Amino acid sequence: MNKLNNGNSKAYVLDGFLSSQEFLNLCSNYGIKANFNDVINFVTRFYQKVLNRNPDTTGLNNWVKYLTNGTKSGADIAKGFIFSEEFKNRDIDNKTYIDILYKSFFDREGDIGGITNWMNKLNRGTSKAEILNGFLNSQEFINLCKKYKIKPASSLATEALIDIKRDGTNIILVHGLNSGASTWEKIAPRLSKQMGVEDGSYVEIAIDIKIDDSELCWDGAWLDEKLYCNKLTDIDSLDKFRDRNLRSYQKEYVYGLKKGQFEITSIKWASNGKKGEDATSNNKTKQDRFYNQKVFTINFSHNNQLSFDAQGYQLKKVIDEISKITGIDDYILIGHSMGGLASRAYIQNEETKNIIKFITLDTPHLGGIGASKYTSATKNAGINLASDSLDISQLNDSYNIGNKYEDIKVYHLGYSDGLNSFDTGNYYSQGDGNVYIGSQMGLDELKPFRIIFSPTLKDGVFKYDKEVTKLDKTFSTNLDKADKIIQIPNYSENISGELINAAHTEVLKDNRYIKTIQSIISDDITALKYATVQIYNKTDFYVSRDGIYQLYIKDSNSYTWGSDFIGGKDFSIESYSTQSFKTFLCDRYIDIQAKGLGGSPIWTDYNIYLPCNENKNITVLFE
């Protein structure tokens, strides 16, 4: 009491008790080995360096107690101070933040190399929480905690997640029917690097579920057959469910496993390429290892048997967990094939995070092959992909769509090698062999930007180029609805006389295809926009019908005329007349060539710079 009455602090008195031989002996009897003076100094340093004040008695006593009895770890105290409102209110800059971490964690000034490294990370967008994790996991901090006889970190089973919100965008990749995370082997690493992950790594997420054995997925009483949900994997062998005579029944029933007929038992995260060897379902481990990741691939459980609403529900659970672990709520959703429909079910049926962009790749928005029957292409699916099935009808119902896409930028990417020069009414009708192009181009209600990829056909080197004038004329129709057409190789191979429809997945490895996805993600609008060119024919021809009959355009670095989407025999401009066209070959130098009646005369101009999103006036004068 004399010491307190003489002005000594309670902390000073506490230190006297903690340092006394009697207290040390008592601790030894209970197996407590912590060095209390060091622990007091450790806690005091955090008060002084992080909060810029001396400790209050209650706070100091509690932290010392928790650290010495093992209830809390060194990492806990660091997070407690760094994430406190008191520290946040200091509103410090990046350099001061790094200096504080060095002084509070290591009791020293930071070295120049270390400070530079951490500052570079912050300037590239790494969050302060991620920097904190770097200090927590450093060997220097671990050694310091061991010196003080305190735990560096709590056990995985008890340590809580860092509860923090941060800016940024995550990308979710959703595979289609009869596929998995391997769908994204070419795309995911490039998107990861684009999002700032230097090594291009990403997370593979697997969902496990348990199906109630009593759940019935089809009560075919009139077939004397009940199809239980846990038997959906056998549906391909149940011919009676495939009988075309049962069409009226098939189209009125949702076959797949529905939301409520199963429970999710685990959501496991693993590093890409490791075949799940490092998979974990522990959320703290996920945060420690994958906090900086930006790209996540989804592996549905029982993908072939899930109804759309079940897939949407699984997506919600996964995306909610990703937000909790990464602290990011903004997303770009990319679905391939039926993965696009699963993504739509999430958007339309669930309470979503903030979906900024939604990209579908070769997705059967209007149903599967031919969009008229439950075909062999979907033979392993418990879900009916026919265009008039209840599954597709419910997904495409205007009431269900509502205004769900109002704040989402939607893009439909499709592939087709079905260009038919003899039937101008069916351009791109074939699609990629699994999904016809009209289905890939989707619904107007989603207000999508539509892009078709297609190859040059085999029967003529320039056949594609010569037909593109007619393609331009279909832009305003409902045939293909393309906003942009991009030429890529033919991915449907002819082997031993049989057509192997590889395009549905092979296009996902195509460089132009991937670059287009990256352009959408980066908001490189010029990569998806066009220039409008006004052609004025100044030549004075004697016959009124004479004039420009063919017009070609190409990149100045290309050797092939007609490599863009204008050209052919229907583009006529009479004397002293003007006609316009749009081209996606812009923000570059182009060459343009006009041909008169019968291919002669020919007028050519080279190295014309054509900016995107602008009008360009060009005058043609035949000499």
Query: Which has the higher per-residue pLDDT, 132 or 233?
Result: 132
Q: Which of the given ranges, 40-44, 249-253, 609-613, has the highest pLDDT on average?
A: 40-44
pLDDT above 50 (res 152): yes
Phi/psi of residue 479, nearest 5 degrees: -75, -50
The CA distance from 442 to 419, in Å, is 19
Q: Tell me what pLDDT residue 563 has.
A: 38
Q: Tell me what pLDDT residue 370 has.
A: 44
Where do the structural domains in the chain lie, given as residue ranges?
Answer: 2-147, 169-407+503-527, 531-620
Confidence class for position 528, pLDDT limits 50, 70, 90? low
pLDDT above 60 (res 532): yes
Mean pLDDT of the chain: 75
Architecture of the structural domain at 169-407+503-527 = 3-Layer(aba) Sandwich (3.40)
| Strand ranges inside 490-614, DSSP E | 492-495, 498-501, 531-537, 547-548, 550-555, 573-574, 577-583, 588-595, 602-610
Q: Tell me what pLDDT residue 252 has.
A: 54
Query: Which has the higher per-residue pLDDT, 612 or 373?
Result: 612
Number of Cβ within a 10 Å radius of residue 407? 9
Structure tokens at 319: 């995306």
Domain 531-620 fold: Immunoglobulin-like (2.60.40)
166-193 tens-digit pLDDT: 788 999 999 988 788 888 999 999 999 9
Average pLDDT on 233-239 reads 52
497-521 tens-digit pLDDT: 444 457 888 889 888 899 899 989 9
Residue type, 249: Y
Structure tokens at 435: 């999904």
Phi/psi of residue 506, nearest 5 degrees: -65, -30
Number of Cβ within a 10 Å radius of residue 457? 16
Q: What percent of the chain has pLDDT over 70?
A: 69
pLDDT above 50 (res 494): no
With helix as H, strand as E and coil as C, how does 578-617 read? EEEEEECCCCEEEEEEEECHHHCCEEEEEEEEECCCCEEE
Query: Which has the higher per-residue pLDDT, 558 or 258?
Result: 258
Confidence class for position 215, pLDDT limits 50, 70, 90? confident
Residue type, 354: N
Q: How far is CA 98 from the centre of its chain?
A: 32
* Tokens 């790749």 belong to residue: 361
Average pLDDT on 310-323 reads 94
The CA distance from 20 to 332, in Å, is 61
Domain 2-147 sits in CATH 1.10.490.20? no
pLDDT above 70 (res 305): yes
Sheet containing 588-595: order of strands: 550-555, 588-595, 602-610
pTM for the whole structure: 0.62
At 273 the three-state DSSP class reads: coil
pLDDT above 80 (res 352): yes
8-28 tens-digit pLDDT: 666 566 656 655 656 555 555
78-126 tens-digit pLDDT: 888 888 888 888 888 889 999 999 998 888 898 888 898 888 888 877 7
